[in-house]
Chain A
Amino acid sequence: MTANSFLEFSKPFIDAAKNIFETMVFSKLEPGKPFLKADNLSKGEVSAVLGITGSHNNMDFQGMLVISWPYQTYYKVASAMLMETFDSYTDEISDVGGEICNMVMGNAKRELAVLGYKTNMAIPSMIEGKNHTIKYPSGTTTIAIPIASAHGSFFIELCYKET
């Protein structure tokens, strides 16, 4: 995938994340400059991971959407969404990231379809802990997009490979 087509592929996810954060987290997002990620170390301490499969121009592809938050940002996002204060990682907020990931993918699907990408989404999973690693499908290119918000910064990562 060329850099331009990766940007085209990533835009629906960024637009969806902006929409979801404005509607349900009451916060505007400021995406930064995307960069290529060379390792599989998470950028945050709480990560929501969602597998994607699909096709584009008659080529099947495999990908992954990862949203990775530092603890403090995650607590603030969960507190805003659930309208109560959280300051530690508990069962009560353990599926907040997965639900956000679900909504981002669900929303991005519409715009991706307009661009000719047919996508199927899996069920999100959560990984928590300092310096955890993410199992990207082998041979994929991963880009990370830093996001700034009133609740703190976090990262949206996307990987993609034709299969």
Chain B
Amino acid sequence: MAIRANMKILIVDDMATMRKIIKNMLTQVGFKDITEADDGARAWPMIQQSKEAGVPFEFILSDWNMPEMDGLTLLKNIRSSDQFKDLPFLMITAEAEQGNVVIAVKAGVSNFIVKPFSAQVLKEKIEKIFT
């Protein structure tokens, strides 16, 4: 799968500040089609509906800790469906504990990024997923 500047990206984070920071960074590194969701509970139907509408999201960046549906549950929902089993998923977390990484890898995460991070580090993580 190749990186395209116009690929359809979904940012999932309950904190508006972090969504804005990530959107700024993605824009800085050249991405153009960015949508936001404020919880996994909102993101999951958006992902399904975009697929049904024929304009599926091609990359998900999701926070781990969210109040209604956390990033891990969202990831498990995505991976439990055949049509989304290969959808690239980057998990964002404030906690760098090894246990978290293992849990996310077992659930099928594509890559992992720990806050704080720069636009350059985000770009490198994305490149690793798509190459």
Is B15 a contact partner of A98 (Cβ separation < 8 A)?
A: yes
B116 contacts A by Cβ under 8 Å = yes
What is the distance, in angstroms, from B22's C-beta to the closest C-beta of chain A? 11
Count contacts on B: residues with CB < 8 A to the other chain: 19
What is the distance, in angstroms, from A106's C-beta to the closest C-beta of chain B? 3
CA distance A152 to B20 in the complex (A): 23
Is B21 a contact partner of A82 (Cβ separation < 8 A)?
A: yes
Is A82 a contact partner of B24 (Cβ separation < 8 A)?
A: yes
Interface residues of A in 1-41 (CB under 8 A from B): 19-20, 23-24
Which of B18, B114, B117 lies in contact with A99, CB distance below 8 A? B18
Count contacts on A: residues with CB < 8 A to the other chain: 23
B118 contacts A by Cβ under 8 Å = yes
CA distance A109 to B93 in the complex (A): 12
B29 contacts A by Cβ under 8 Å = no
Q: Which B residues lie within 8 Å of A78 (CB)?
A: 17
With A19-B116, A83-B24 in contact, is A93–B93 under 8 Å at CB?
no
What is the distance, in angstroms, from B24's C-beta to the closest C-beta of chain A? 5
Which of B17, B24, B67 lies in contact with A93, CB distance below 8 A? B17
CA distance A83 to B93 in the complex (A): 22
CA distance A20 to B17 in the complex (A): 14
With A95-B15, A98-B15 in contact, is A82–B96 under 8 Å at CB?
no
User: 7 closest Cβ contacts across the A-B interface?
Assistant: A106-B94, A23-B116, A99-B17, A24-B116, A106-B95, A20-B116, A103-B115
Which residues of B are in contact with A by a Cβ distance under 8 Å? Answer: 15-18, 20-21, 24, 65, 67, 93-97, 114-118
